[in-house]
Structure 1
Amino acid sequence: MNQQVLFELKNDITCLQRDFLRSKSMKVRKSLGQFFTGSVVSNYMASLLSNPKSETIRILDAGAGTGILTASTALYFLDTGCKTVHAVLYELDSDALINLEETLKIVRDAFKLQQATFTYDIYCEDFVLTRPDKDKSIQSFDVSVINPPYFKYSAKESPYAKATADLYKGDPNIYASFMAVALACLRDKGQMVTITPRSFANGLYFKGFRAYLLSKLSLELVHIFKHRGKVFNSEESSVLQENIICYFVKGGVSNTITVRSSYCDLQINSAKEGKHPVDLIIDSSNDQKFIRIPESDNEANILNQAESLETTFEKAGYFISTGRVVEHRTRGYITTNTDTENTVPLYRPHNITPLTATWTGEHKKEVSFILKGGYAKHIIENNTYLLLKRFSPKDEKRRLIAGVHLANKHTCKLIGFGNKTNYIGVTNDKLSATEAYGLAAVFNSSFMDKYFRCISGNTQVNATEIRTMKFPGRDQVKEMGKQVQKLKTFDTTKIDLIVNQILGVISSSIRGEN
């Protein structure tokens, strides 16, 4: 097809999407979990597909919006010589149907110009609740290219809670349900391209979904964006979730996985690329099956070095727990009067700095926890712990920030930790100050911080990821602690030297550019 004609057709399709976005408030679209794919991203997603050998290529678009993904996919196949394409589209929002129909008519007319045939069916139905994979009258699909809605739902009250129970256990998020049902609709060797939050790649809530996904599909490619707010259509407001594009093949077998990274959508076609062994990307050493995503060769080198560490965090004998004080549920126990009897210090994230956790009672944000009826379930024994901030967004310079809480800094026998902190200790024993400082060195090192970034794209540091991380043995941690205790102040360079030397880490790879 003439490139000028193709450009004009795609521009018309983009205008139909833009018109719809302007007709509907962001508040309403957010309530439906709608975040629309721009033309650059949709064209890129289509380009990841290989040409199916079917006489008629069948496309599934679940959560179609105004149809830009189907349009890009169909026009891509037309450009590669396909003559017959049929698309089946599901869109629950009836307000989008007029624009969706117009988009598909443009595609149909483009096919006619090339003496080819494009047909389609639109279903204004809930894709997950409808479960088209169970409808024997619907044929399986060659490809599914989707940008599913994103929202959480009540595991007890929502009809979605049991909708995919036959496919996987757990109720993480509606986008995972869309992926699962779309997968079930594919024929053998069918292809699926998705743009979703990265959260399914790790985390306890997605454990069952990952097991189902990876047992049916071969992950062939992952594209990650370094800036989370520059992925979706420019008409959208900023998106806080870190999003990735994935390309899967049903029943496929691959020894490598391609990882691409770009700063934003406009740089998507000039992304950096690396090919890595499947075992490096998918952690098969435990039942979590985390999908690790190194954004560069530098991070892949760090991930490789981490794999050679002596043990894992949990197997080394450490535990990690979330602080027990949930402040919005315990307001009656919290006081700003930090110098009263029958209270104990309550540690919040601001109390945690690299290497040291400090509560003096003098900071304007500091509060105490009152020891009154029912207090016992909210606080713990005052021992030495390593405190780790739970919320450390990707866009910050560091993801892991850990400080040592020394028991002897307070005379009280009990202590309070807020649920925005994690506390770490030794299983069935008490953590010594020396070992605590060794742990602080590990978590505050550049090596561990970059390793963690490969594992987690969440906006918080979850205990599940920490428990399964590769980790030095306790003797190594104690040796680090001895050296750290000699430092007068926190110094990243000195911490890195201590950690790298004891672990045998090649420091040049850590300092490399991403």
Structure 2
Amino acid sequence: MSQQLKLTNSIDYKPISVSTSLRKKNLGQYMTPESIAHFMAAMFPDSFDRSCHLLDAGAGCGALTSAFLDRWKTGKFGFSAVNVTMYEIDALLRQQLHSQIANYPEANISVLECDYIMDSMNRLPHEETYSHVILNPPYKKINSHSTHRKALNAIGVEMVNLYSAFVALAILQTKHQGQIVAIIPRSFCNGPYYKAFRQLLLEHTTIKHIHLFKARNKAFQEDSVLQENIIIRLEKGSSPAMVRISSSTDASFDDLSYFDLPIERIVFPEDTEQFIHIPSSTEILNLESSESIKYSLQDLNIQISTGPVVDFRLKEHLCSMPCENTAPLLYPIHFRTNKLVWPLSDIRKPNAIKRNVDTEKWLYPTGFYCVVKRFSTKEEKRRIVARVIDPNVFKNMPPVLGFENHLNVFHQNKRGLPPELAYGLSTFLNSTELDEYFRRFNGHTQVNATDLRKLKYPSMDVLLQLGVWTMAQSSFEQSDIDLKITELTS
């Protein structure tokens, strides 16, 4: 018994007629362990209402509904009748689905072969049908010109991904105090792309329970799924209160642990972006409580931008090594261990960019900068990796630099920073507490300028003191960084 995670790559979510192995590859279907389906069913609170109407959109082979009905049969739910509406557009999966639900003659089950999003257009905005929803929706971006995007826009649901669209529509179709349990990527918790989804979710529901998998490469290890997923339970229309945070290493749930936190620790009341923070413990970080760490980049007159050089668009202007009338071009690969190494002869990336009328507007004046890699590897120890650009590396070069698009650059009005400030920023961003705090709302490997802009920073005085200390050290350990920051900010 299994449910499938669909990571669909077609323009619209449509079935394709190919062999099973190629179909799985093309649709990106990954089998979820049965244990996860039963864990999700167990997240619903006990209920002794007389009737239940369950929605399972994108039902796959029926594992989630089967787990829910298994729980009903044990008496944990007191429903005298269960109606189930299942959507599955894939004909091959429906064959397995019909075979699976035949094991539950006690339930009244309808399997709809139509597209869930398009069918929902005929049911909204007035129909609130479901008392319970269990979801493992497809994972796929929605093309801005697709039928799905146009249909969603027509009812005021601005979604960029099928998984957020499925959950959003399910929320709108759920009755007051209805329960929704879904396994979805954690990526919606932060960033501008999912702001509309977060607003809809928090306007119509209350978060009741979030489950984390500590090792993202183990929960779905049979299919090598590295997407960081969470399981979330929402209640329609209730008042915000406490949120249960649970975690386990993998889908065995052998080391399951949990704690409760007030909703204010999950969604900060003053946060207009409504980022969703998921702490791994009840500990209040110094970063959250220190009066010295409360400043925005705007308060500090510091800006952050994504590196402006997009190499494939400027390919004809790039050079493998510096030569006459070129400027240094910096990629993340130029940062080895704790220092900038440029140029590098053992890389495939270019080391320089030509200076001309087509490139000049993308270059920054040479100076001290703090930069952060935009992408980390799937299981890299640190999410934020900050480094300092020291202009002394570029002796005998023109007084401009190119920053490739995979770097975030801290600057002051597109010019360099005082050296003490560049080093202070870098050291703060490389602290253990900052990394822990960042992981609470960022569940993927991308570090966007928007995310770094949302952080709170120490005062300018503290950053400068931290920079002076950093520049005076010949070497230091992580514990030295953490101790010094605590000393300056406590």
Q: TM-score, normalised by structure 1?
A: 0.85
Q: Does 2:348 correspond to 1:348?
A: no
Return the offset for 1:215.
0.6
After superposition, the C-alpha distances for 1:266-312 in whole angstroms (9 at most, x for unaligned) are 12x641212112111113322210001112345x5466447972223
Q: 1:60 aligns with which of 55, 63, 67?
A: 55
Structure 2 equivalent of residue 82 of structure 1 = 79
Return the offset for 1:373.
4.5
Q: Does 2:190 correspond to 1:202?
A: yes
Conserved? CA contact 1:355–1:402, under 8 Å: no
Change (3 A) 1:306 1:69: farther
Letter in 1 for 2:108: T
Deviates more, 1:23-32 or 1:317-326: 23-32
Structure 2 equivalent of residue 130 of structure 1 = 119
Q: 1:179 aligns with which of 160, 167, 178?
A: 167
Return the offset for 1:139.
6.0
Q: Does 2:454 correspond to 1:485?
A: no
Q: Does 2:271 correspond to 1:282?
A: no
Change (3 A) 1:262 1:27: farther
Structure 2 equivalent of residue 312 of structure 1 = 296
Return the offset for 1:61.
0.4
Structure 1 equivalent of residue 14 of structure 2 = none
Structure 2 equivalent of residue 293 of structure 1 = 278
Deviates more, 1:370-379 or 1:97-106: 370-379
Conserved? CA contact 1:133–1:181, under 8 Å: no
Conserved? CA contact 2:367–2:415, under 8 Å: no
Measure, in 2, the Cα distance between the counterparts of 1:136 and 1:477.
51
Conserved? CA contact 1:52–1:142, under 8 Å: no
Measure, in 2, the Cα distance between the counterparts of 1:31 and 1:315.
48
Change (3 A) 1:67 1:306: farther
Q: 2:27 aligns with which of 23, 32, 49?
A: 32
* Unaligned 5+ runs, structure 1: 1-12, 18-22, 109-116, 505-514
Q: 1:143 aligns with which of 132, 142, 155?
A: 132
Deviates more, 1:417-426 or 1:269-278: 269-278
Give the CA RMSD over aligned residues. Answer: 2.6
Letter in 2 for 1:274: F
Q: Does 2:379 correspond to 1:391?
A: no
Change (3 A) 1:373 1:135: closer
Q: Does 2:101 correspond to 1:101?
A: no
Measure, in 1, the Cα distance between the counterparts of 2:437 and 2:126.
48
Return the offset for 1:362.
4.7
Return the offset for 1:500.
1.6
Measure, in 2, the Cα distance between the counterparts of 1:169 and 1:417.
37
Change (3 A) 1:104 1:426: same
Letter in 2 for 1:378: W
Q: 1:322 aligns with which of 306, 313, 316?
A: 306
Letter in 2 for 1:455: F
Q: Secondary structure at the match of 2:207?
A: strand
Alignment of 1:343-382 (within 5 A): 343-353=326-336, 356-362=339-345, 364-365=347-348, 367-382=351-366
Q: Does 2:245 correspond to 1:250?
A: no
Return the offset for 1:328.
2.3
Return the offset for 1:491.
3.1
Q: 1:450 aligns with which of 416, 436, 440?
A: 436
Structure 2 equivalent of residue 512 of structure 1 = none
After superposition, the C-alpha distances for 1:358-413 in whole angstroms (9 at most, x for unaligned) are 42455545511112441134322223210111111452111111111123433422
Measure, in 2, the Cα distance between the counterparts of 1:151 and 1:83.
37
- Percent identity of paired positions between Structure 1 and Structure 2: 30
Structure 2 equivalent of residue 331 of structure 1 = 315
Q: TM-score, normalised by structure 2?
A: 0.89
Change (3 A) 1:442 1:168: farther
Letter in 2 for 1:134: R
Alignment of 1:498-513 (within 5 A): 498-504=484-490
Deviates more, 1:388-397 or 1:306-315: 306-315
Conserved? CA contact 2:125–2:172, under 8 Å: no
Q: How many residues align?
A: 473
Change (3 A) 1:308 1:337: closer
Conserved? CA contact 1:352–1:389, under 8 Å: no
Return the offset for 1:53.
4.7
Q: 2:219 aligns with which of 209, 212, 231?
A: 231
Change (3 A) 1:39 1:103: same
Q: 1:404 aligns with which of 379, 388, 392?
A: 388
Change (3 A) 1:320 1:168: farther
Measure, in 2, the Cα distance between the counterparts of 1:15 and 1:50.
22
* Unaligned 5+ runs, structure 2: 6-17
Change (3 A) 1:24 1:222: farther
Q: Does 2:200 correspond to 1:217?
A: no
Measure, in 1, the Cα distance between the counterparts of 2:19 and 2:52.
33
